[in-house]
Amino acid sequence: MRGLIRSAGPDVPRECASSRCRCTFGQSLGRPWPRSVRQTAVFTKCDGVVDWQYCLSGKPNNDVEVVGTHLGLPFNATVFRHIAVRLAGSRARPFRRDSLRTGTTT
């Protein structure tokens, strides 16, 4: 993170991208989410970078465990499926693991 801040140049305050950041965006990260925003916390116990326990939302219905690594999650079809189900909301049909291969959800 320090390298990222240094590479941004001298106009970026040292506290930027840290818990001490005071810019509008930095402050917004600490505010509660609007109730209209649905939350999903996707995590893997095999992350290898982040301790999975820090990824939990504290709301078991929002937490989704998948198999994968930290760098593999952006390419993980199961992750995308869980996100799609959450975005679809109540219109979503039950998820079946074999639907990833066939493209069906029923």
Helix (H, G, I), strand (E, B) or coil at 17: coil
Q: Which sign does the torsion angle of CA 13, 57, 84, 50 carry?
A: positive
Q: What is the spatial distance between Cα 45 and Cα 64, in angstroms, rounded to a whole number?
A: 11
Helix (H) or strand (E) holding 63: strand 63-65
Instruction: Give the pLDDT of residue 106.
Output: 46
Query: Taking phi first (over 0 means left), then psi (-120 to 50 degrees means alpha), and beta for anything else, what does residue 70 get?
Result: alpha
pTM for this model (two decimals): 0.58
pLDDT: which is higher, 97 or 87: 87
pLDDT tens for 15-71 read: 776 777 778 877 887 788 888 888 899 999 999 999 999 999 889 999 999 999 999
